[in-house]
Amino acid sequence: MGLDDDAREYHRRDPPGKIEISTTKPTNTQRDLSLAYSPGVAAPCRDIAADPESIFEYTAKGNMVAVVSNGSAVLGLGDIGAAASKPVMEGKGVLFKRFADIDVFDIELDIDEVDPFCTAVSAMEPTFGGINLEDIKAPECFEIEERLREEMDVPVFHDDQHGTAIISGAALLNATDIADKELADLDIVFSGAGASAIASARFYVSLGAKRENITMCDSSGIITEERAEAGDVNEYKREFASDVDGGDLADAMEGADVFVGLSVGGIVSQEMVRSMAADPILFAMANPDPEITYEDAKSARDDTVIMATGRSDYPNMVNNVLGFPFLFRGALDVRATEINEEMKRAAATALAELARKDVPDAVVKAYGDDPLQFGPEYVIPKPLDPRVLFEVAPAVAQAAMVSGSARTDIDLEQYRERLEARLGKSREMMRVVLNKAKSDPKRIALAEGTDEKMIRAAYQLSEQGIAEPVLLGDADEIARTADGLGLSFHPEIVDPDERDVTAYGDQLYELRKRKGITRREANELVRRDTNYLGSVMVKAGDADAMLTGLTHHYPSALRPPLQVIGSAADTDTVAGVYMLTFKNRVVFCADTTVNQDPDRETLAEITRHTAELARRFNVDPRAAVLSYSNFGSVDNEGTRKPREAVELLHEDPDVDFPVDGEMQADTAVVDEILNGTYEFSELDEAANVLVFPNLEAGNIGYKLLQRLGGAEAIGPMLVGMDEPVHVIQRGDEVKDIVNLAGVAVVDAQE
């Protein structure tokens, strides 16, 4: 099937459409229903009647946006009517929810006239925290937005106008910098004079472009003052009439620095591109076919051509989804009365700045593994970059507070943390640890220092103040890689070929001389194997923690730190723990990487260590030692080990957290089973520390939870080491390295 048929099948698949309504509170009992509706609902109704602002406290209004259209200008389909526009408006709701966790009702109004349309939308103000106008034809869209902004006390935003303006404005800021030009000096030509073109031209002026340097063309050619005086253009086009004799698009583009296409495909030739000024900037945003193809524009000339389109299969996609979800997120969260020019500029500036930062591996993979690095081929972030939410929304919220649009002030640092939590529980949990790490950064040795991911992680650790990274490996190679990545930082490097590491070799010899190693072998190991070098540095106190494993099998990466650093003084047990985060809960799973067949003493130690780890994430541990038996229901050697481990823990006066077992996995995590059937259990709530009976069960269990349960996994985190060491998994992403480095720093602090 082709794309059209696939889309039809996608939309008609049961249930039809793309959105549904779900509840956010329990509705399982009669009391739940009496709270949700009659008679309990009367109490918040009375409170809102007495204090209208309390509607934000008691209802979903503060997170609810209406996407409103009359279907008069739908995508490239034109005036197809309100009903036919509904799939697009539902899709808009999907994007609001997916990218900014904003709930949406799509409203399709079969009203063409401005007055009744405005009356209908304005009457909906009690329901919604914001209004997103969509796919309304020009020039009516200008009047509708202007009137609703005046009449309503919630943000009203016509995305077709301002979305393209903001995203392309962000691209223009970066493109201007790359081309080494000044925004105020740019000669800018527009092809198209509809809503998005006029709004973009206005916004570029707001960013610093000069009105007199903008030439706008419609299907009849350059919009001139002569045409304006003759009544040949509407009042909105008249704003950008130029004092020239006239001409067509080719005439306008000659000598121009910037071309902005918001018209139709295929109208710009290579010759027209060659007529532009040096290092031209072309935003050919007609969809699906740009005014000139990416290939034709790039090959038209030998200098730098910065090209953006509206297509995802070319670099620099100008996509409105980079704007409207995050504008509304920031506006809603400060209860803004409008989305003003200051807020739009803040959004564009935040997007431009984000494009200059290192791109997460997950984003690179989502777009085909091609390198994404600030430059002519990457002037705006990708829509799937999760950082857009907590970069743009806080910038918008701050601009709203400064400009007077906000009705409530918020702490921006706390706000960023709440936004990260919206992207998943793992971000919320890691924020706890990373904040602790930033309070007292420690030196962390990165054993695989020449690896690109390690270098990028070191840059982020340094830039964010999480740790003081020390890269181990060839200094020249590290410098070349960092330079190639465009990372302007100068990390500490320990290169065993340039630095005298004899003292580390001697220390390794002293540690291992009665375990089959000679002095010469010890010195050779610290020179050629950075896992041994890093381990000895930590043992000697020259580094506070160590990370390795990115390019090694787990056992071979773990062996050097176990030999050199070993387990803590009060234990012989080292274990691997994964933290799994679900939407509303967190569980720590152990042991998932180290102990194949632990005895009862080892199981007890693993439980202690994992509970200590949970507390570093500000989680009060409730531990369950798992089996296929519930509290003696099966009695054999396998079930006795976890049962006896629990007995050891109950006898230990230093164990200050609830723990019980042996128990089955569903008993451990389901309150109704735990407290309904086994009311004698030491756990009064579902367990959040799950200790598996052996490595096989632990490894299988956490991977099933991760893949089938939709959990995000952080780890493996080594517990029980005498000094902080973590062995990451081969192929982990930069964010995983940064996360485990943060855990290692907190370990070192404690």
User: What are the respective helix, strand and coil percentages of the chain, to the nearest 5?
Assistant: 45, 15, 40
361 within 8 A of 373, measured Cβ to Cβ? no
Inter-axis angle of helices 159-178 and 341-354, nearest 10: 50
For residue 472, the SS3 value is strand
555 within 8 A of 562, measured Cβ to Cβ? no
Q: List the one residue out of 430, 494, 491 whose CA is nearest residue 463.
A: 491
**Cα 17 from Cα 14, distance rounded (Å):** 8
**Cα 492 from Cα 477, distance rounded (Å):** 14
∠ CA 104-129-329, rounded to 5°: 75
227 within 8 A of 233, measured Cβ to Cβ? yes
Cα separation of the two ends of the chain: 59
Residues (pLDDT < 50) of the chain are none
Structure tokens at 362: 């997950």
The helix (run of H) or strand (run of E) holding residue 331 is helix 324-333
Q: Where are the alpha helices (DSSP H) in 355-451?
A: 361-366, 387-403, 412-422, 425-439
558 within 8 A of 591, measured Cβ to Cβ? no
**Cα 503 from Cα 480, distance rounded (Å):** 28
Listed as own residue / partner, the contacts of 412-416 with beta carbons closer than 8 Å and 24 or more positions apart are 415/333, 416/390
For 377, which DSSP code? T
Backbone angles phi, psi at 553, to 5 degrees: -65, 145
**Cα 127 from Cα 61, distance rounded (Å):** 6
What is the predicted pLDDT for the residue at 674?
87
716 preceded by cis ω (within 30°)?
yes
3-state secondary structure 163-189: HHHHHHHHHHHHHHHHCCCCHHHCCEE
- Report the greatest alpha carbon distance in the chain: 99
**Cα 98 from Cα 329, distance rounded (Å):** 12
Distances (CA, A) of 40 to 30, 33, 575: 12, 9, 50
The catalytic residue among 37, 58, 365, 513 is: 37
**Cα 525 from Cα 309, distance rounded (Å):** 53
**Cα 451 from Cα 233, distance rounded (Å):** 59
599 within 8 A of 697, measured Cβ to Cβ? no
Active site residue 236: no
What is the predicted pLDDT for the residue at 11?
81
The catalytic residue among 92, 344, 382, 539 is: 92
What is the predicted pLDDT for the residue at 369?
62
What is the predicted pLDDT for the residue at 661?
86
Instruction: Label residues 20-59 b or e (16+ Cβ within 10 Å = b).
Output: eeeeeeeeeeeeeeebeeeeeeeeeeeebeeeeeebbeeb
What is the predicted pLDDT for the residue at 422?
79
**Taking the model in full, what pTM does it have?**
0.79
**Cα 211 from Cα 454, distance rounded (Å):** 47
80 within 8 A of 110, measured Cβ to Cβ? no
What is the predicted pLDDT for the residue at 648?
95
Active site residue 92: yes
